[in-house]
Amino acid sequence: MGKGEDTKSLILEKAVQVASVQGLQGLTIGTLADELGMSKSGLFGKFASKENLQIEVLRVGSELFRRNVVYPALKTKPGLQRLKTAFQMWLTWANTSELPGGCLFLSSSSEFDDRPGIVRDHLKKTQLSWQKTLKQFVQDAKDTLELDENTNVDKMVQEIWGLILGFHFYNRLLEDKNCEKRTKQSFNELIKRFQNEY
């Protein structure tokens, strides 16, 4: 990796941290230049536009998510063990030191759900990719007969996503110290329900 690539990686590392606190819309070449003590023209030369910067931040954030959530889950046995690991790592991800403001994708989804354009398109693509992976984890649990064979995969994944959204709200905004414990209990109850729903 050359010096220019090293510099860009350091810039994007800081940009991800800023975006997790201020949101993607709050992340501009100007604000990032101030944070890094760099010139706006120097940063502009690396990204050319605010949208390109935002997309690069989402790209780096996606790799962080894979490293912190997806890869650890894939190292476990397919089935409920893998699904449970993914859920636990997803909870942990919300409090990682690399994201001082919490999950970059949850906050960005609120910002861009009604804002068409290339940034929204890229964000949607990353979330659909994770949704596809999570569906596969649930399907694996069906295939190993740890979940009922008639389990509605889409329904279960949506409910799991709802637990994460609720956890993020209680954890970040309300600063409820007991919400992680309750969220894990709710997840375990959800698993049991889908084991016995049919």
- What amino acid occupies position 99? L
Q: What is the pLDDT of residues 52-87, one digit of tens each?
A: 999 999 999 999 999 999 999 999 999 999 999 999
> Is residue 173 exposed (0-12), middle (13-18) or buried (19+ Cβ within 10 Å)?
exposed
For the cut 50, the answer to whether the pLDDT of residue 98 exceeds it is: yes
Q: What is the pTM of this model?
A: 0.91
Q: What is the pLDDT of residues 156-169, one digit of tens each?
A: 999 999 999 999 99
Q: What is the pLDDT of residues 100-133, one digit of tens each?
A: 888 999 889 989 999 999 999 999 999 999 999 9
Residues 6+ away with beta carbon under 8 Å from 109: 123, 127
CA distances from 94 to 16, 39, 154 (A): 14, 32, 23
